[in-house]
Amino acid sequence: MKKIFFSLSGLIIIFIIFKLFLFSTTKKNESDKDYRTAFRKNYKIFSVEIPEKIDFAEEDTPLNLFYVRESLDRELIVNTYWHSSTLLLFKRAYRWFPIIEPILKENEVPDDFKYLALIESSFINAVSPKNAVGFWQFLKDTGKTYGLEINNEVDERYNVEKSTKAACEYLKEAYENYKNWTLVAASYNAGKRRINQALDKQKITNYYSLFLNDETSRYIFRILAIKTIFENPTNYGFYLREKDFYPVIPTKEITINYSIPDLVNFAHKHKINYKILKYFNPWLRTDHLTNKAKKTYSIKIPKEGYLRHKKLLKQIKDDNLIFNDTLTVEEIN
């Protein structure tokens, strides 16, 4: 009798364990299924829109060629879905485009070259692996060739206005050679010698037919992608309000033709700190300026009160957005 009792008890326990196992497995499978359903419902990735027509400096891009279309598609996807990077480009461009655009116009260089500067440096004063610096990423020798002062104390590659003017000189000189702005832009990346060699060896006359290294092959398409997204931000999912941008900060210039033994004291004399002085004058590379030759320099400092965020927000309302789109909450929703 006892044996029968224990046998029944054992069977009941095994049955309960088996049911619990089936229950937990079923619940787990149901949970995974619900999770997959929720994921598919709430997370969607779309291929980006390729424009029907696009140009660089009013030179048409041959989108009818499959490899041209696919190259542009690649860069549009990268810049659309690399959200943090592209958002920062939008914000910084609002501050620096108004400074660069008039210089390009004055020098009769197409406005699209502002996007070249943007992809070169992301508008930060980084140093490349080849030691190119500044927004236009000049090498030391090239910068000197186009009139920039570069030494231990002064490096005008970091001066936005002067480096933009130097870039214009390069671009206009290259245009005299190529008579084509797209090739000019490619030569800015690869160098005129390499572009000339490729054109001669491959017996062609345009950028889009050239076989080049990966960096230069992508270069124009990176510019075109950023231009496309900037001109049609909402088409690529970017919604920015006016107050999201980094505005131009009004400055005044102090003209000096003497030595400054201590730039920290110079900054405090003008009611700013050394950090602010260096932000507006990154071309000053040390904490002093010897200036034995008594050259004339212009040092920028912000106008009084314009370091305060609220005052800058008021200023933005008087500026024009860099986009044509007027963004509303309704559009975002």
Q: What is the pLDDT of residues 102-111, one digit of tens each?
A: 999 999 999 9
pLDDT at 101 over 90: yes
Nearest to 229, CA basis, from 83, 59, 71: 83
What residue numbers bound the domain in which 295 lies?
251-302
* Identity of the amino acid at 205: T
- 47 in a domain, yes or no? no
What are the start-end ranges of the E strands in 101-250?
Answer: none
Judge if 157 and 257 occupy the same domain.
no
Nearest to 77, CA basis, from 57, 49, 35: 49
Q: How far apart are CA 55 and CA 117, in angstroms?
A: 17
pLDDT at 27 over 60: no
Judge if 93 and 222 occupy the same domain.
yes
In the prediction, which pLDDT does 222 show?
A: 98
Judge if 146 and 205 occupy the same domain.
yes
Q: How far apart are CA 130 and CA 124, in angstroms?
A: 16
Question: Is residue 206 within 8 Å of 183, Cβ to Cβ?
Answer: yes
Judge if 179 and 209 occupy the same domain.
yes
- 43 in a domain, yes or no? no
Judge if 135 and 197 occupy the same domain.
yes
Strand, coil or helix: 257: coil
The total domain count for the chain is 2
Q: Helix H segments across the chain? A: 2-42, 66-81, 83-106, 113-121, 140-145, 160-178, 181-190, 192-202, 214-231, 263-269, 274-280, 309-316, 329-332
Q: How far apart are CA 253 and CA 256, in angstroms?
A: 10
Q: How far apart are CA 250 and CA 266, in angstroms?
A: 20
Longest dimension (CA), the chain: 116
In the prediction, which pLDDT does 41 show?
A: 86
End-to-end CA distance of the chain: 74
pLDDT at 25 over 80: no
Domain CATH number, residue 88 = 1.10.530.10
Nearest to 324, CA basis, from 226, 233, 225: 233
Domain boundary among 217, 244, 271: 244
Average pLDDT, rounded, for the chain: 88
Q: What is the pLDDT of residues 32-70, one digit of tens each?
A: 888 888 888 888 889 999 999 999 999 999 999 999 999
Judge if 149 and 259 occupy the same domain.
no
pLDDT at 332 over 70: no
Q: What is the pLDDT of residues 162-221, one digit of tens each?
A: 999 999 999 999 999 999 999 999 999 999 999 999 999 999 999 999 999 999 999 999
- The two structure tokens encoding residue 79: 């810049």
In the prediction, which pLDDT does 9 show?
A: 59
Judge if 191 and 266 occupy the same domain.
no
pLDDT band at residue 95, thresholds of 50, 70 and 90?
Answer: very high
- The two structure tokens encoding residue 59: 């030179």
Question: Is residue 270 within 8 Å of 236, Cβ to Cβ?
Answer: no
What are the start-end ranges of the E strands in 52-132?
Answer: 55-56, 59-60
DSSP state of 153: S
- 179 in a domain, yes or no? yes
Judge if 121 and 181 occupy the same domain.
yes
Judge if 210 and 277 occupy the same domain.
no
Nearest to 123, CA basis, from 155, 102, 94, 93: 93
> Which comes out higher in pLDDT, residue 257 or 24?
257
Domain boundary among 206, 223, 244: 244
Most confident of the following: 216-220, 239-243, 315-319: 216-220
- 46 in a domain, yes or no? no
pLDDT band at residue 21, thresholds of 50, 70 and 90?
Answer: low
In this prediction, residues 238-261 reach a mean pLDDT of: 94
pTM reported for the whole predicted model:
0.84
- 33 in a domain, yes or no? no
Judge if 164 and 285 occupy the same domain.
no
In the prediction, which pLDDT does 315 show?
A: 62
The region that residue 137 occupies, defined by phi over 0 for left and psi between -120 and 50 for alpha, beta otherwise, is left
pLDDT at 5 over 50: no
In the prediction, which pLDDT does 36 show?
A: 84
